[in-house]
Structure 1
Amino acid sequence: MSSSDLLTTPVRTALIKMTLPMMMGIVSLMLFNLADIYFVGQLGATEMAALAFTFPVTFSVVSLAIGFGIGTSAILARLIGSGRHEEAAVLTTDNLLMTLIVVLCVSALAHALITPLYHWLGADTEQLPFIIDYMGIWWFGAAFMVTNMVASSSLRARGDTKTPGIVMATSSILNVFLDSILIFGWGPVPAMGIAGAALASVISWGCVFLVLVWVLYKKYQLIVLIKPDLMRIISNWRRVMKIGLPAALSNIMTPIAGGFLTAMVAAHGAEAVAAFGVGNRLESLSLLVCLALSMTLPPFVSQNLGAGQFERVKIAYYGAVKFALVWQLLIFVLLLLNRGSIVDIFTDTDAVKVPLSMWLMVVPLGFGMQAVIFLSASTLNALHQPLRALRISLIRLFVFFIPLAWGANMLLGLQAMFIAFVVANTCAASVAFYLVRQQLKRGLDSLH
């Protein structure tokens, strides 16, 4: 879609056209990660454990990239919506350049600290060489990965979700192909083991980087050849980071809270942890549509905000919330009716089947509320209210989720803990909806 389509096309039609390609992109990213896990798992338990140790660091970088992308989309889409295309092009150019420089500097520092960092995280002498092999290469491509997310957010701000979706799908296919060759070797290509998985990712990210930059430059003229001006670059970077850093912090909190919840579940045994892990993966799949919607809603909101079309902003948000509640209720019913078959797919161990079946009967009931939470947070970011969006995450995780889950688990056990998840999501969703509604009722006066 073009930028003008976001301002004139019926709201529902515009969001559907933008969300469908994003779903394809998200599925592709899931396959990208699963390919690494699958192929490295064939190397052995030590290599698999080494890859698991890399997740906290790589997820932190991904969270940072998502935050940068959110900030980019919010600022850029508002400029485009208000017709300030030249300013938008300069901001895009400066933002990509600064992102590349910052992440390259961080990568250089992190590369030098690989050994002490993973000693601190608990890696043993058997796992550490494999971690060094993997992360030593991975850090060289981190700048491409983060810049790609920012470039994709720039395209979404322009109204184009199709190109990022296609590019992400193509990169996932390329990653799978390269994984099989570089990890195990083929013909003249030597087997690189776990280092091959990292190199496959870096090559895929590098190819995506070239494509996205070309599209931004050639098709949309959002990259311009302009003389670097340090003060201008820093000023544009600060505009983006004002929204991007709180968004990144919000994303990083989720795995931290997840660690606390996993520790609570672990008190019920390894089988309960296994069931909880399966449940988390089912949760990601169940929320896929609404997650894609949460990535397409912000550019729509920001562009219409820039154009002064506040009524379309309200229609989009309230329509997205209604859709999320109905859609996730349908998903809950499907999971509930088919829980026996789903449990049999994932495990044949009775000790895992019981808690997993319990999870399927309870937790998905709160998915609609969970969708309302992240749709509200993404809308507040698009409305240039990042601290309110961060407040939603803090309230959800540390006021409702962890305290209620801990209390229920201590007093009544695992099933009560799962019920607490639903109650916590409901309470947090109510707060999130109230915050957005109050912002919209004020006519967005405080945004100017």
Structure 2
Amino acid sequence: MSPFSCSQTTETMTESVLDYMNRLGQAAREASRQIARASTAQKNRALLATARALDAARDALSVANQLDLAAGRASGLEPALLERLELTPARIDGMLEGLRQVAALPDPVGAISDMSYRPSGIQVGKMRVPLGVIGIIYESRPNVTIDAASLCLKSGNATILRGGSEAIHSNRAIAACVQQGLVEAELPAAAVQVVETTDRAAVGALISMPEFVDVIVPRGGRSLIERVSREARVPVIKHLDGICHVYVDALADLPKAQRIAFNAKCYRYGICGAMETLLVEQSVAAAFLPSMAAMYLEKGVELRGCERTRGLIEALPADEDDWRTEYLGPILSIRVVDGLDQAIEHINHYGSHHTDAIVTEHQGHARRFLAEVDSSSVMLNAPTCFADGFEYGLGAEIGISTDKLHARGPVGLVGLTCEKYVVIGDGQLRG
């Protein structure tokens, strides 16, 4: 239960929430200066100590998570959100592996690149530096607490984490392990802070503190991300939707295409990389769709299709809204298209610029799709559910960005740094 007696709206938030968030911000800003100069070895010690603490706290994590799940069911939380909320043993294993992978990754901070001599005799290059303080606002997934803490820590940033009220017990239990890891590595505890209040007013405060916060990363539903994008006074790294497509080309290996299309939808319904629309080239639709539909129906996936699709399989009619919907559940829209041009046009028109895939054995079609589809991740002969920082070798991800400035796609260590110019001279003067 929140220790704050506060209103639930930004407009009428009480002074106590503002004071609390300001204290977090001030502490984070001070900690960011210390963590920015921490050695790679020291940061890695904190990450590995956190992994050990998490591993030892499995029972406590499970108890805390069960409290959140019970409260979520009682409040009518949607199945997709309950699935995201659950901390299974495999997901705890994934958090441990993520921490170890991030510890093993090269430290981007301080790296100097592109050094070159200028005619004046000076050398000019670029150095990677932390962003500073990163505010992260997220819903449901408690493992985000570890993903965010590990990446911010390794990239030399302080972070303020504001999880959803539905995961408050899980997040607190995880945060205790992070604090233990920081203490063991003799790093400031304020380098990773979890907002203790579940009051929504804290979000309004966090996104309105440019003096303390350098970047905001929202992870959650569309309404949260739209609100943050609209009201934030600091830069935002975000994506709104995960309307992902798989296009089965005329020259696809159909058994391979079936495996990919099934995995893209059914691996996990609730992830932003799950396929929501399947596009099939007309010349292979009759050979591909009936057996593909049988696989989905056996799994309990509801199919919605265009007129040509419904001429080949049993499916509900798909309307205009279906092409624009991120279901996050066992529902799939299917469209039969004339060919590659119409597939690319459909994706660029209805998609969310997140992740889209083509299944084909034709090199020219593959190259066109990879070049012309305007998404942050574009895939060839692979399911869209691979759109994940862990799978990309980033160790973990802070989020996925569909914007085109600073970072795009899964954002890992490098995306949490920026560059500054460094100029080295030996007494040269500009004449």
What TM-score bracket applies, with the shorter chain setting the length? Answer: under 0.3
Highest relative contact order (Cα 8 Å, sep 6+), 1 or 2?
1
Task: With the length of structure 1 as denominator, give the TM-score of the two structures.
Answer: 0.25
Structure number with bigger Rg = 2
Task: With the length of structure 2 as denominator, give the TM-score of the two structures.
Answer: 0.26
Higher helix content, 1 or 2: 1
Higher strand content, 1 or 2: 2
